[in-house]
Amino acid sequence: MTGPLRIIIADDETPARNRLRELLADCAPAVPHELVGEAANGREAVELMSRVPADLLLLDIRMPEMDGIEVARHLLSLPQMPAVIFTTAYDLYAIQAFEVNAVDYLLKPVRSERLLAALQKASQMRPPGQEQLQKLARRPRTCLSVQERGKIVLIPIGEIIFLKAEQKYVTIRTNEREYLLEESLTNLEQEFVANFIRIHRNCLVAKNSITGFEKVAEDGGDSHWEVVLKGVQEKLPVSRRQQFIVKEFAK
């Protein structure tokens, strides 16, 4: 790597950010670096990262809006995913999970020697992989993210009306528009089982977007059900296998 290490700090507590800044200053003679930004919550961190290129992210786990692990998952869609070091005060679950998944982490209060060692390692560190992060995640993501023109676009789960698999991609439909996502529908179904329901082999619908079902006659006398959705014109067919949801919805 050429030039100083570009670092971003994300932590919701001001004193914690101040402390890290002080410690980074202490480490400056040994590891030349440049603090290029600070974020006070998960969403800010994602936005910042897609604007300001950085090599290393010091990422707190417990933050409002979006936790650190989800932040890292969204950053994976960046062409230049930075190295990530998680920081946490006390979180048995997280610490065990990190050890298992070999993701680097620092315990708060952070010791300057420990930070120095982490910085020295950072230049050779590989960013964590999606699979590792998925194992660390404790709850479904609050947003899905897609990359558009080098920027990360966050789509809050609550705004999604349906997810439809089309060949290699999944189409995300919101009130306004569509996005293309490179994830598997099966994984999405598992993660968001609380919010979405499968109506067809290739389609998940947000439960609270369903306003009703309509029976549609086909040529040849058969008929099938279609989902009527809030806010969009499209009607989506319910496959024969998933027809039981029509009955469940009626309850």
Question: Helix/strand/coil (H, E, C) string of 172-195?
Answer: EEECCCEEEECCCHHHHHHHCCCC
Considering only residues 205 to 244 of the shown chain, the ones binding another protein according to CB under 8 A are: none
Q: Does 151 bind another protein (CB under 8 A)?
A: no
**Can you tell me the distance from the alpha carbon of 236 to that of 214, in angstroms, rounded to the nearest whole number?**
10
Determine which residue in the list 18, 80, 186, 190 makes contact with another protein, applying CB under 8 A.
Answer: 18
Q: Which is nearer to another protein, 42 or 82 (CB)?
A: 42
Nearer to another protein, 62 or 151 (CB): 62
Three-state DSSP class for residue 225: strand
CB count in 10 Å sphere of residue 135: 14
Instruction: Tell me, by CB under 8 A, how many residues bind another protein.
Output: 22
Interface pick for another protein out of 4, 19, 53, 232 (rule CB under 8 A): 19
Interface residues for another protein in 108-137 (CB under 8 A)? 108-110
Kindly state whether residue 96 participates in binding another protein, applying the rule CB under 8 A.
no
**Contact by Cβ (8 Å): 85, 107:** no
Question: Of the candidates 77, 82, 75, which has an alpha carbon nearest to the alpha carbon of residue 104?
Answer: 82
79: Cβ contacts below 8 Å, ≥ 6 apart:
147, 150
Report if residue 16 touches another protein, rule: CB under 8 A. yes
Region from 1-9, 30-38, 86-94, 173-181 binding another protein, contact rule CB under 8 A: 86-94
Structure tokens at 9: 């700090």
Residues 48-77 that bind another protein (CB under 8 A): 62, 64-65
139 binds another protein (CB under 8 A): yes
Count of residues in the chain: 251
CA-derived radius of gyration, the chain: 22
Among 28, 81, 107, 117, binds another protein (CB under 8 A): 107
Q: Does 156 bind another protein (CB under 8 A)?
A: no
Stretch that binds another protein, among 16-24, 48-56, 162-170, 225-233 (CB under 8 A): 16-24
CA distance 224 to 235: 12
Q: Return residues touching another protein (CB under 8 A).
A: 12-16, 18-19, 22, 40-41, 62, 64-65, 89-91, 107-110, 138-139
